[in-house]
Amino acid sequence: MSKAEDLREQATDAGKRGDKTKSLREGAREHRREKALNDMADNEDWLDGKSKPQPEKKN
């Protein structure tokens, strides 16, 4: 498993914890953590030379 895949798995777990918590503060913190982990995974992919497809431009 690559580091990016591991980070995405952690992000998924953080999102689930954020959805299940009763405290709004804890839920918001877990969702911020989820976003940060996904951003880190994207950076790892970029460092490994994998790029995301660019969205098509609308005229």
Phi then psi dihedrals of residue 58, to 5 deg: -95, 140
Identify the DSSP state of 22. Answer: S
Rounded to the nearest integer, the mean pLDDT of the chain is 90
Q: How far apart are CA 52 and CA 41, in angstroms?
A: 12
Is residue 46 predicted with pLDDT exceeding 80? yes
- Extract the tokens encoding 31: 């969702």
Is residue 5 predicted with pLDDT exceeding 90? yes
Is residue 58 predicted with pLDDT exceeding 80? no
pTM: 0.81
Residue ranges per domain, the chain? 3-47
What pLDDT, in 10s, does the model give residues 13-37? 999 999 998 899 999 999 999 999 9
Q: C-alpha angle with apex 44: 40 to 46, nearest 5 degrees? A: 115
